[in-house]
Structure 1
Amino acid sequence: MNIRVFRTPSDAGIYAASMVERVITSSERPVIGLATGETVLPVYDALVNLVRCGLDVSHVTTLNLDEYVGLSPNHPQSYHWFMREHLFSRIGTPMQATHLPNGVAPDLEAECERYNDLIRNHPIDIQLLGIGVNGHIGFNEPSHTLITGTHVVNLTPETINMNARFFSRKDDVPRQAITMGIQSILQAKQIMLLAFGEHKADIIYEALKDGIRTDVPASMLQLHKDVTVILDSHSAARLGL
């Protein structure tokens, strides 16, 4: 596991984008696993700059980690909307090359199987991850057991409270999501985990230094052979680096 600590999230985003660029330029048909949330915005801004400087992404396929259940792709808080707003529309990604779970599918179980098939047919070259303050990656919440494939998850009160700032009212936050499973995440050839801010320092320590535990899903990344953890000085504060 490689740990890199940067002065600012912007500096970290440039480094993460350079890792993605290496995958894109070294593969005939690269598949990039993407995430949503404030943490990944510096990465997407840096990728946009790389594309403006000549990086060709016309041959890239993307797979996102998750989507809220009950939000249509045109809902301003859906992850479809987030990706269009912050990345896809800015780099001209063909929409047929971008994939997210459908949170309004009439049969959610069938939708999970569809997404599992999609992942099997498009092995992920590099997966971008954030981490929740409770240790979730994707929407794989702390539990006694972790589900391997794409599944519907009940969001914990902690996750709902954290995401409430993006909605007009806390009651508007969806209570469920479709998420890529832990096994699917670990099958990516490379993984990048990003975390910024003092509020992530404790969970970063638990995920990296406190053993492998299902109640800290991100700790499962210790089982992967090629993980780069990208932090700022605040989130790295407890690591003693």
Structure 2
Amino acid sequence: MKIFSAPDYTAMSRKAANLISAQVILKPDSVLGLATGSTPLGVYSQLIDWYEKGDVDFTKVRSVNLDEYCGLAPEHEQSYHYYMKENFFKHINIQMVNTHVPDGLAKDVTAEGHRYDKLIDSLGGIDLQLLGIGNTGHIGFNEPSESFIKETHRVTLKQKTIDANARFFASKEEVPRYAVTMGIGAIMGAKKVLLVANGAGKAEILYESLFGPITPEVPASILQVHPDVTVVGDEAAMAVIREKCPSAID
């Protein structure tokens, strides 16, 4: 595992975007696993900038997103279909037919999970998976649980997750209570994992995830056994790691 500390959010975003652009340059038809939320926005902004300058080409890239809220149509402003289109896809030359997000309107979520896992397999798996980390230690929407769930599945969101995401909605009551998320199997099957974290609020859970016990109660802790993980965080997010394990930071 490689752990990098950046001085601020902009530098963190640039470092992470550099790793993604390098992946695409070296393998133009890469399968990118993509994340949503506030943390990756700077990464996508930097990639858009480099695309506009002609430094990176997304024509052959395929993408699979981690998750989607149950009950939200793709056109809903808080759906992750909409997030990806508005914050990344429409600004680059990726072919929309090559972009994939779980179906939050699927009546049979189990069948949707099987479909999505087969889709990822048909693409040859994920070359690089971008992850954020939630306050509960969740990756994707894999919340603390009694076991690591391998398959794409429906999850009941924890109250801490609902509270954290309420800022994107008009009220906390409007935040969906369920989501369909890529399982731990597909995430851990990615050839490379890139985890980004920013802000003091992520410092303790980031340390716990990377250096604490491997347990489904802290889903991100499973990344400790992945063979190729890079973590990029700003100084605030790295504060606890810097205090307790300073030698771990590159």
TM bracket (short chain): over 0.9
Counterpart in the other structure of 1:225? 227
Q: 1:92 Cα deviation (Å)?
A: 3.0
The structure 1 segments of at least 4 consecutive aligned residues displaced by more than 2 Å after TM superposition are none
1:169 is matched with which residue?
A: 171
Aligned pairs for 1:27-42 within 5 A:
27-42=27-42
Counterpart in 1 of 2:3?
3
Please give the alpha-carbon distance, in whole angstroms, between the structure 1 residues aligned to 2:152 and 2:40: 22
Identity percentage of aligned residues: 46
Moved more, 24-33 or 93-102: 24-33
Q: Take 2:205 and 2:83, find their aligned partners in 1: how far apart are those partners? A: 25
Matches of 1:120 and 1:37 in 2, distance apart?
25
Check if 1:77 corresponds to 2:78: yes
What's 2:148 paired with? 146
**3-state SS in 2 of match to 1:39:** coil
How far apart in 2 are the matches of 1:140 and 1:180?
8
Per the normalisation by structure 1, the TM-score is 0.98
Q: How does 1:38-49 map to 2 (within 5 A)?
A: 38-49=38-49
Structure 1 match to 2:122: 121
For 2:171 and 2:49, the matched residues in 1 are separated by: 35
Q: Is the 8 A contact 2:191 2:228 kept in 1?
A: yes
Partner of 1:66: 67
Post-superposition CA distance 1:117-136 (Å, at most 9, x none): 01111211000000001100
Partner letter of residue 114 of structure 1?
R
- Equivalent residue of 2:241, what SS? coil
2-structure distance, mates of 1:165, 1:14 = 25
TM-score by length of 2: 0.94
Tell me, yes or no, if the aligned pair for 2:152 and 2:183 is still in contact at 8 Å: yes
Q: Which stretches in structure 1 are left out of the alignment for 5+ residues? A: none
Tell me the equivalent position of 1:51: 51
Partner of 2:208: 206
The equivalent residue for 1:97 is 98
Residue 218 of structure 1 aligns to a residue in which SS? helix
Secondary structure in 2 aligned to 1:133? coil
Q: Is the 8 A contact 2:57 2:93 kept in 1?
A: no
Separation in 2, partners of 1:211, 1:146 = 14
The alignment of Structure 1 onto Structure 2 pairs a total of residues equal to: 241
Q: CA deviation at 1:106?
A: 2.4
Q: Which moved more, 1:214-223 or 1:10-19?
A: 10-19
Q: 1:21: Cα distance to partner?
A: 1.2
> Aligned-residue CA RMSD in angstroms?
0.9
C-alpha deviation, 1:186, in angstroms: 0.5
Residue ranges of structure 2 left out of the alignment (5+ in a row) = none
Amino acid at match of 1:96: V
1:93 CA drift (Å): 2.0
Please state how far the C-alpha of 1:211 moved relative to its aligned partner: 1.9
3-state SS of paired residue (2:155): strand
CA shift for structure 1 position 28: 4.6
Q: Aligned with 2:176: secondary structure?
A: coil
* Residue aligning to 2:192: 190
Residue of structure 2 aligned with 1:135, choices 134, 137, 143: 137
Q: Tell me the distance in 1 between the aligned counterparts of 2:90 and 2:235.
A: 32
Q: Distance in 2 between matches of 1:106 and 1:156?
A: 22
- Kept after mapping to 1: 8 A contact 2:188/2:226: yes
In 2, the alpha carbon distance for the partners of 1:141 and 1:2 equals 24
